[in-house]
Amino acid sequence: MRIQVALRMPNNTVRYQSFDGVEAHINERNVLQIFWNKQLIAEFPSDSYLSWQYVSPPLQPTSRAGQLLQQQPQG
């Protein structure tokens, strides 16, 4: 799965960070924990993130025709 986290930055802006192939859990201290292969790879205290969600990765074209269509200028 892919997880997208909305992070609160010190200058009051929002930055989005994505993690592929992971699982997320919120522990008893309300810390968002990101795991890859059952290994903890990131932690976000509750005051550092605004939200998180599972998202689907964009589909990649599997055929040569699909790749060519993707390279065409949008007009």
| Joined tokens for residue 38 | 């059952």
Structural domain for 20, as ranges: 2-71
For 3, other C-beta atoms within 10 Å of its C-beta total: 19
Count of the separate structural domains present in the chain: 1
Terminal Cα distance for the chain, rounded: 33
Q: What is the pLDDT of residue 56?
A: 81
SS3 state of residue 18? strand
Q: pLDDT tens for the chain, 75 residues: list them.
A: 899 999 999 998 999 999 999 999 999 999 999 999 999 999 999 999 999 999 986 666 555 555 555 555 554
Confidence (pTM): 0.71
Cα–Cα distance, 15 to 61 (Å, whole number): 28
Residues contacting residue 58 through CB under 8 Å, at least 6 positions apart? none
